[in-house]
A and B are shown apart, each in its own frame.
Chain A
């Protein structure tokens, strides 16, 4: 079982959003100082899905990441968690990429590898919220894609994927090779042991740049970012209801809501 997991490095999305600012002129989001880079959370779940399959059926897990100035410690965590190989697709031009360019770079690197059975992506990256690279990569590689998996079960040359839909869930059987995008319900990434973290420091990392991959980013970009602005927040002043006891506060809340015509 040869698996490839696509992992994006993002600023920690759980960091406080109050300190997050938008630099309108530079068209960039500025995260609070000291916000660490992390693996995008759904990508961690995608890696966990691969490792769960490896636990039961064995196999080889390659992690791939596209970007500029990728933080080695963040991505080495993938090795420490049980991935076998880390390939960084790193170049100064791999910055502010759109979904088409990202998927094309991943596709180029995957074609270099040649054979694989299953590619796993996160359902969407925490910075772009685009939700496209997985589906797009599958199209570029001419393989089937199943999105937003909450369960994956390996069968004979196929996988059964459980996915949530608006009124319940469905199970889809897909022939391998295939691509599956993963949702958080698969589970959080296992916590690496200290000795695995140490061992991962010594594992080799493969780095490929644009030239080696035969990629010209400018010719791949299909979206222009025209502007970036801060979100419009509800402009409200919260009316705090306090009382001698929490029980009375609860009653007062109901009464206040009635008074304001909410119920």
Chain B
């Protein structure tokens, strides 16, 4: 066997505390750790005050590492890789789990190569092969046309996991973790990047991550003018508005509202696709929705293979009456 031991979870915060993906990682991490008979730890990286977030300690980890430094106030690839490199080299976990978030997909590969190991990103399943005790890492490839399962003999394994692929840790777990402050040394002069501007651009309405209903527009909607109507309807349904890649490229919606394999991966209760063809790259980012409704003028559009309910027609004609009826029904 190898000399690596333990499952480590990288903790991320949003505006409302722990990101849901972090709870899911802790849930999955606990399960894997128990099966391997290894401890579970969580790591929080940031600057002063991050311990406030250590209610992660209540979520089933045996140890919580707090990595705090002035240079870690905001996420930056270089500083975070340097900090985590130090912790991981000392702790030697079997695996480090991160969310497939904007941070995770940037951090995981750099850290893996720094540690001369390998990362597997965007996993949708994580299991143990009981005979060999190696991790089976499953992820979509080819834009979602296939699903690959990988193993590796290199440790620690750096793994990012897709949102909602795993069940979250029970909030009632209530175990109190041992909190360890891990001191890192960072040399400012060794860093070659500098954050010079950070701009919030949320787009209007609910965020994709928070919405139970998403209305998504594609190239068929055109630009911002067409999206106005989707926004109005979204307000009625308490829905968030997203778009396909062409819709974002046409500035119909903000770029961080792109849904799909290279945008945000969502799994709402209801996904309403308007003027979207249903390409594999788009659908592998929303195909986990409980219900899908599609409006498209092309009866052969692939979206109808995924949809529960569909209307073939010009959205400019179908959508206004659809929206008006919805308004009447929900009010």
Contacts and interface: CB of A to CB of B under 8 A. Distances in A.
Interface stretch (B30-38, B52-60, B87-95, B102-110): B102-110
Contact of B146 (A126, A228, A250): A228
B143 A226 contact: no
Contact of A129 (B76, B142, B245, B320): B142
A234 interface: yes
A234 B291 CA distance: 10
B121 to A, nearest CB: 5
Contact of A13 (B255, B281, B295): B281
B182 interface: no
A226 B306 contact: no
B208 to A, nearest CB: 9
Contacts of A123: 262
Contacts of A130: 121, 141
Interface of chain A, main secondary structure: mixed
A171 B202 contact: no
A228 B148 contact: yes
A132 B114 CA distance: 12
B139 interface: yes
A145 B107 CA distance: 11
Interface of chain B, main secondary structure: mixed
Interface stretch (B64-72, B170-178, B308-316): B308-316
Interface string B192-221: 111111111110000000000100000000
A214 B101 CA distance: 37
Contact of A224 (B77, B113, B150, B256): B150
Contacts of B256: 164-169
B8 interface: no
B325 interface: yes
A185 B249 contact: yes
Nearest to B208: A166
A257 B262 contact: no
Interface in B126-149: 136, 139-149
Contacts of B114: 139
> 6 tightest A-B contacts by CB?
A250-B322, A254-B325, A139-B113, A250-B321, A246-B317, A135-B109
9 contacts: A160-B196, A169-B255, A226-B151, A233-B305, A234-B292, A246-B317, A249-B311, A255-B329, A263-B329
Interface of A: 13-14, 17-18, 20, 22, 29, 98-100, 103, 123-124, 126-132, 134-136, 138-140, 143-148, 150, 160, 164-175, 178, 183-185, 222-234, 236, 238-242, 245-258, 260, 262-263
